[in-house]
Amino acid sequence: MTRATDLSEAILARLAAISVANGFHTDIQSVYGFGERKPDRALPPYLLVRIDADEAIKRSCNTAQRMATYSIEGVLSRAAGLQDLQRLHHDILRSLGMGQMPIVSRQRAEWLAEESVEFDPDQNGSTARTLICTLQIHYLEEY
């Protein structure tokens, strides 16, 4: 496995652990990773996780410092309010160890470089409320 695959698997596993029983505010029903098909009638709350980009920013011999950009879309029912979306955002960051990087292991360095969230306003006829959390994570890959 590569560091990139380790990182992606760790992110999906941590997000799947978001539940009230684990001390979070939200009970996530499902997490759908890159390329996974979400059922048309999936019950919220759920997360859609995709990697938008992964680029080398520094190279030295057989090692590269890379920056992976992940988008995590949180979907709640239409009845959810702004505070519910904000709690879900908080849960996402806590599950990924905000301020407690690394995500994979202490022996392997990765760190959160940037984080932002966009709350989608309720649209006419929409059946859900969403947020999109964008994370840029730096990590070292050996070739």
Q: What is the pLDDT of residues 79-111, one digit of tens each?
A: 999 999 999 999 999 998 875 655 555 445 667
Give the pairing of strands 110-120 and 63-77.
unpaired
CB contact at 8 A, 7 and 110: yes
pTM, to two decimals? 0.89
- In the CATH scheme, what is the code of domain 3-142? 3.30.70.1700
User: Coil, helix or strand for 87?
Assistant: helix
Q: Where exactly are the structural domains of the chain?
A: 3-142
Mean pLDDT of the chain: 89
